[in-house]
Homo-oligomer: A and B are copies of this chain.
Amino acid sequence: MRIKLINPNTTRRMTDAMGRCAREVAAPGTEVIAVNPTMGPPSIEGYYDEALATPGLLAEVAAGERDGYDGYVIACFGDPGLYAARELARGPVIGIAEAAMHAASVLAPGFSVVTTLARTCGMAWHLAERYGMKRFCRNVRATDVAVLELDKPGSAARRLILDECRRALDEDGAEAIVLGCAGMVELCAELEDALGAPVIEGVTAAVKWTEALVALRLATAKRGDYARPLAKRYDGALASFSPGGPEPVAEPLGGLVAEQGY
């Protein structure tokens, strides 16, 4: 099977790290291709960033449908564009916050999310509610580390994150940690060793969850909200995103994307 892992920001080195980690956990026979859009924000740290990351993400899903992918992972902890992506895709589309919270909820009575900037904590709480995971979520904690600091050599980020995880276990009574940023994908094992408690990282969790659903031959429901977008002609600069009806959003978008040097 082929899973398309989409990092919705434009930072290639984060995409590459995610791809490496994803491939390490994939089962034999599962191919994971990690991509990112070339348009939009280099990091997603608020609702505005998220809104502008979504068109690029959706273009990748539309392209993925043309290329026959079996499932998709949206690799940003805000799970941007998740429902819109489900409208486009035949196979499963999983957000990394969704997968990580599901995993944490079956391994521990409760978890805390440790994320980057305080301004994204509200988002994480909203996702926890939306996915039914609020009852398991003891706290959402910010480290005030910027997303792009995470993999800089010599950065204090790792220390700050480890300390915050410790506080989550001690002060929140959390029994597991969910890492609240796709950029933390490579810290997972190191943190788990240091903490002696499950540390769940969403990119790998979502890859495995997607792989499982594809193996079960399960697909996105096409009744109701996730039905294919109604065919219509979009206007202006976004005309190439026009959904084509029964067929996937295909030729127009392909043309458009090309036109944008995409």
> Is there contact, CB below 8 Å, between B92 and A40?
no
Given A92-B107, A213-B103, A218-B200: A50 and B84 within 8 A (CB)?
Answer: yes
Interface size on A, residues (CB 8 A): 99
Q: A216 on the interface (CB 8 Å rule)?
A: yes
CB distance from A233 to the nearest CB of B (A): 7
A194 proximal to B (CB < 8 A): no
With beta carbons under 8 angstroms apart, the residue of B86, B131, B221 that contacts A197 is B221
| A110: min CB distance to chain B, Å | 8
B56→A238 contact, CB < 8 A: yes
**Interface members, chain A 174-193 (any B CB < 8 Å):** 175-176, 189
Tell me which residues across on chain B come within 8 A of A38, comparing CB atoms: 235-236
Chain B residue nearest to A213 (CB atoms) is: B103
Total copies of the chain: 6
A216 touches B221 (CB 8 A): no
Chain B residues near A229 (CB-CB < 8 A): 46, 48-49
Whether A27 is near chain B, meaning CB under 8 Å from some CB there, is yes
Contact residue among B41, B105, B123 (Cβ-Cβ distance under 8 Å from A232): B41
Nearest residue, chain B, Cβ from A249: B48
Does A156 reach chain B (CB closer than 8 Å)?
A: no
Query: Within 8 Å CB of A208, what residues of B?
Result: 212-213, 215-216
CA distance A131 to B133 in the complex (A): 8
Q: By the criterion CB–CB under 8 Å, are A237 and B260 in contact? A: yes
The reply to whether B108 and A221 form a contact with Cβ atoms under 8 Å apart is yes
Please state if A84 and B198 are interface contacts (CB–CB under 8 Å): no
Give A54 Cβ to nearest chain B Cβ, in Å: 5
A109 touching B48, Cβ below 8 Å: no
A40 touches B238 (CB 8 A): yes
**Is the CB–CB distance between B136 and A87 below 8 Å?**
no
Which B residues are in CB contact (< 8 Å) with A237?
Answer: 39, 237, 260-262
Q: Does A33 contact B (CB under 8 A)?
A: no
Q: How far is the CA of A136 from the CA of B131 in the complex (A)?
A: 9
By a CB distance below 8 angstroms, the chain B residues around A19 are none
Interface bits A222-239 vs B (CB < 8 Å: 1, else 0):
111111011011111111
Question: Which residues does chain B contribute within 8 Å of A46, judged by CB atoms?
Answer: 84, 87, 225, 227, 229-230
A interface list, Cβ under 8 A from B: 10, 25, 27-29, 37-43, 45-52, 54-56, 58, 81, 83-84, 86-88, 92-94, 98, 102-103, 105-110, 118-119, 122-123, 126, 129-136, 169, 173, 175-176, 189, 197-198, 200, 204-205, 208-209, 211-213, 215-227, 229-230, 232-239, 241, 243, 249, 260-262
